[in-house]
A and B are shown apart, each in its own frame.
Chain A
């Protein structure tokens, strides 16, 4: 099953950090939870939402490399402005949510009817 990122945002009280990226045009069919860049580099796949607490600039590089178009920062984590502007450039939607990675993943799992 595939859903629009907007549908997921409503579930997680998600705040969009990247104003130039339209979440309505992003569709997701899976998720990936990880706080290690090397792990994401080797295993994440296009169509997944990446749920993490990492905020380094290389997060954006790794997302571009693996064709991820949405990253949710758990526990209200917000990256530096330079990270957000890089994501805007790359067309990657950054979302900050007050929920924990566990709850974020659970809600996505349910929404996708997995």
Chain B
């Protein structure tokens, strides 16, 4: 077993708010520079760019995790991670169908670019990815679990799009074992404010929208191998797996 340094919240050029400089080459170059062992691409409500970024990561010996940042009906952001592409893809299709129907308007929200492994533009995603799914927070958690994924409520200390901002509390739910806090948040201060959240593992990521932000937030995981299942074990302090911020 060993420590793996991971930044599991990075936006690609597909996210309307993500910079067009977030190409696979630039993302992986920065990840390498920051000595990350694992990264996840987590675009808003879509995994359409995951496979391409995975190719670039693999060529550079960085373990790639399939991820997505889902926006629930309550406008809560939830990171979700998957080990198996088939399951991830099936989930992604259902998620896409569940998005409220609205076309993206790039002049207001930004471009949504799907690319191929040569960094060519394949298409522009037409549906507005900044919109919400019709699934509630708890439905999202259940569905992610059903597809073998691991869901982590995102940036819970943030004043926008977080479970604490939208609901004011974290519903008791057996599928949640970890919460993401923003990179500048002190876990100690956070827990003194919310002592009842001590039972959760707190992880940090960069939530990078620009290349220079990659690796500016990270968590280290003590694992047998770099997989989502092992990360989940670490967050539950299971089988000697653990995390360190």
Contact = CB atoms under 8 A, between A and B. Distances in A.
Contacts of B108: 61-62, 64-65
A71 to B, nearest CB: 15
Contact of B160 (A38, A41, A55, A62): A55
The A contact surface, by secondary structure, is helix
A84 to B, nearest CB: 15
A17 interface: no
A39 to B, nearest CB: 9
A111 to B, nearest CB: 30
A41 B75 contact: no
A55 B75 CA distance: 13
Contact of A61 (B74, B109, B161): B109
Interface string A56-71: 1010011011000000
Interface size on B, as a range, is 10 to 19
Interface in B97-126: 100, 102, 105, 108-109
A103 interface: no
A102 to B, nearest CB: 18
B173 interface: no
A38 B105 contact: no
Contacts of A58: 109, 130
Contacts of A38: 73, 75, 100, 131-132
A110 B161 CA distance: 33
Contacts of A65: 105, 108
The B contact surface, by secondary structure, is loop
Contacts of A41: 102, 131
Interface in A34-52: 36-38, 41-42
Nearest to B71: A38
Contact of A56 (B102, B132, B160): B160
B196 interface: no
Contacts of B74: 36
Interface string B152-181: 000000011100000000000000000000
A58 B108 CA distance: 9
Contacts of A61: 108-109, 130
Contacts of A26: none
Nearest to A90: B108
Nearest to B109: A61
A54 interface: yes
Contacts of B73: 38
Nearest to B73: A38
Interface of B: 73-75, 100, 102, 105, 108-109, 130-132, 159-161
25 contacts: A36-B74, A36-B75, A36-B132, A37-B75, A37-B132, A38-B73, A38-B75, A38-B100, A38-B131, A38-B132, A41-B102, A42-B100, A42-B102, A55-B159, A55-B160, A56-B161, A58-B109, A58-B130, A61-B108, A61-B109, A61-B130, A62-B108, A64-B108, A65-B105, A65-B108
